[in-house]
């Protein structure tokens, strides 16, 4: 199931970026260029002199990413 969700989100994100670049200026480009980026930015760093650990993640999601995730879930449940 996670594979379907990941692939659906990945394909949706790629399609959203393509539409953001190639869509004419206006409402459509505004809708597809709006992204939400939850995560740790900048990454969290712990420096213990001997060991330096950096932890972080950032999800860049747009409308088509969410639609791709829901499509992946739908396909998983119906296949």
Q: What is the pLDDT of residues 35-78, one digit of tens each?
A: 888 998 889 999 999 999 999 999 889 999 999 999 999 999 99
39: left (phi over 0), alpha (psi -120 to 50) or beta: left
Answer yes or no: pTM beyond 0.75: yes
Q: Where are the domains of the chain?
A: 2-35+57-78
pLDDT score of 51: 96
pLDDT score of 27: 84
pLDDT score of 73: 94
pLDDT score of 65: 93
Residue 33 has pLDDT above 80, yes or no: no
């Amino acid at each position: 199931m996670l594979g379907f969700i990941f692939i659906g989100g990945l394909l949706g994100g790629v399609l959203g970026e393509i539409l953001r670049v190639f869509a004419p200026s206006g409402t459509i480009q505004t809708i597809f260029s709006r992204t939400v980026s939850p995560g740790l930015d900048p990454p969290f760093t712990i420096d213990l002199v001997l060991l330096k650990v950096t932890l972080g993640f950032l999800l860049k999601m747009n409308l088509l990413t969410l639609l791709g995730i829901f499509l992946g879930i739908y396909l998983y449940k119906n296949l």
